[in-house]
Structure 1
């Protein structure tokens, strides 16, 4: 009986996983203490201080959730909502509600951890491609993460 249960559980788990879900994870090692890097990341709207494509960040509230409207250099805006934040664990999770990126159902986490005498920042996201092939959506998000991590590395000292 057990040999039939395991395949059924595996099949049920596979069926519950969205087929079109994509993932991108980028990391950076920064020669600064985790507390310093986390302070540089800052509050939910702190991204405007370290991400090179963000011209301005405006914070607002909807219910008990913080939202940020990011005005991008070169045009375009993103509306994002913070879903969870843990300052002690140095991470926050957010979703994109509206924006020009070729993604939907986007959820992302940025986190800081100790790495030797410095820090490791991990930025990961799950999403579906929208209006673009999967690889182009992954490239777009990967580019956003890489630019942000580079900007963060330059600011966190």
Structure 2
């Protein structure tokens, strides 16, 4: 099983960041890679459409509003992986109205080398967190 991790420190309160990214249906609000999101199964499944027109179906596995974190798995998508599980979390930073955002994932490469798929998801997470920073205007 492979894994990758990206994080960013932001000069924004954890509550403000969580209000933007904490909804399971909120990816299009801050992640340009995702152009639309539609919830199903009572909000437990999201069907995403990417800027390339690809479809990704993800299942919400855990959600903790108080801890500002959720985890999800990919049910269907264009990625060469199986057993994908990811977590998005917002933590308060020591410096007052700042926060630390983490995006991590574990997965099994399927038909490609581990380094290739780790680089793919690391780029998605890193680019996504930079997009979050731009969306917040910081």
Q: TM-score, normalising length from structure 2?
A: 0.93
**Structure-1 residue corresponding to 2:67:** 89
Task: Give per-residue Cα distances to partners, 1:82-109, cap 9 Å, x unaligned.
Answer: 0010000000000000100121100010
Structure 1 segments of 4+ aligned residues over 3 angstroms from their partners:
none
Q: Give 1 or 2: higher helix fraction.
A: 1
Task: Give per-residue Cα distances to partners, 1:21-46, cap 9 Å, x unaligned.
Answer: 11101001111000000001031010
Match of 1:143 among 111, 117, 123: 123
Q: 1: CA distance between counterparts of 2:127 and 2:110? A: 22
Is 1:114 equivalent to 2:114 in the alignment?
Answer: no
Where do 5+ consecutive residues of structure 1 fail to align? 1-20
Return the offset for 1:65: 6.1
Q: 1: CA distance between counterparts of 2:29 and 2:87? A: 18
Greater gyration radius: 1
Q: TM-score, normalising length from structure 1?
A: 0.82
Q: 1: CA distance between counterparts of 2:136 and 2:70? A: 18
The count of corresponding residues between Structure 1 and Structure 2 is 135
Return the offset for 1:112: 0.4
Is 1:134 equivalent to 2:120 in the alignment?
Answer: no
Cα RMSD between the aligned structures?
A: 1.2
For residues 1-157 of structure 1, the aligned pairs below 5 Å read 21-61=1-41, 66-115=44-93, 116-117=95-96, 118-156=98-136
Task: Give per-residue Cα distances to partners, 1:41-72, cap 9 Å, x unaligned.
Answer: 031010111111001111111xx661011100
**Structure-2 residue corresponding to 1:3:** none
Where do 5+ consecutive residues of structure 2 fail to align? none
